[in-house]
Chain A
Amino acid sequence: GQQVMQIPQYQHVQEGEDFTTYCNSSTTLSNIQWYKQRPGGHPVFLIQLVKSGEVKKQKRLTFQFGEAKKNSSLHITATQTTDVGTYFCALDNAGNMLTFGGGTRLMVKP
């Protein structure tokens, strides 16, 4: 099956600093989804990327899909304490199933 590596596993930042998490696949992807899970909560869908080289923004969050459609990144500008949580990428398998990455846990110091 598809392999997905997400790095880093953990990231501590000072509030106001930027944050980036990376997702790498062993195969070319049809699309990729990103989810956020707050501590004690459940994963919540953020965005889906479909096109090669696609860049989408949601306020301070910027999502990018690689040209080869094998990697993706999520960048948060000027982190806030509300950004705390674990960010997952999820790969679209054939048959409508997702393979979730291991997640990057973001901690923000006020």
Chain B
Amino acid sequence: DAGVIQSPRHEVTEMGQEVTLRCKPISGHNSLFWYRQTMMRGLELLIYFNNNVPIDDSGMPEDRFSAKMPNASFSTLKIQPSEPRDSAVYFCASSFTGATNQPQHFGDGTRLSIL
């Protein structure tokens, strides 16, 4: 079975540029999560979608960050304009959410470096 697929795996770009990260969740999962991981702040939840609808975006750092989920099989996280402090590993995770919390399945992540 294919897991969560993220692209690109690595991204290096100059500050001020627009960055778009992509995620394909596991087929049949109805919840999708975007996380950011840094040494200083650990693993932080940025935004949570359920059935393609954003449920909680309180973790999105600022207006430069935006996320969309146009359908059940695709989501994007966009940073515009990017800044060096956005450098981190960004993970997408999906799960099937029913009556109880189910395990989250993580993609391999996108390692983002903003110069």
Stretch at the interface among A53-61, A70-78, A97-105: A97-105
B101 touches A48 (CB 8 A): yes
Q: Does B97 contact A (CB under 8 A)?
A: yes
A-B interface contact total, Cβ < 8 Å:
49
Q: Does A83 contact B (CB under 8 A)?
A: no
Bound Cα distance A43, B109 (Å): 10
Q: B37-70: contact bitstring with A at CB < 8 Å (1 yes, 0 no)?
A: 0000011010010100001100000000000000
Judge whether A10 is part of the interface by a CB distance below 8 angstroms: no
Q: Does chain B have a CB within 8 A of A110?
A: no
Check if B106 sits within 8 Å of A43, measured CB to CB: yes
B106 touches A88 (CB 8 A): no
Hey, which chain A residues are within 8 Å of B43, CB to CB? 43, 88, 100, 103
Q: Which residues of A contact B109 (CB under 8 A)?
A: 42
Q: Which of B56, B97, B100, B105 contacts A45 (CB 8 A)?
A: B105
**Smallest CB–CB gap between A81 and chain B, Å?**
22
Q: A43-B106, A103-B42, A103-B43 are in contact. Are A96 and B97 (CB under 8 A)?
A: yes
* Tier of interface size on chain B: 20 to 34
Interface assignment of A92: CB less than 8 Å from any CB of chain B: yes
Contact of A42 with B42 in the complex, beta carbons under 8 Å = no
How far is B95's CA from A103's CA once the two chains are assembled, in angstroms? 21
Contact of A96 with B31 at beta-carbon distance under 8 Å, contacts A43-B43, A103-B42 already known:
yes
Q: With contacts A42-B106, A44-B106 known, what are 9 further pairs, Cβ within 8 A?
A: A31-B101, A42-B91, A43-B93, A45-B104, A48-B103, A95-B48, A95-B55, A96-B101, A97-B33
The residues of B with any CB-CB pair to A shorter than 8 Å are 31, 33, 42-43, 45, 48, 50, 55-56, 91, 93, 95, 97, 100-101, 103-109
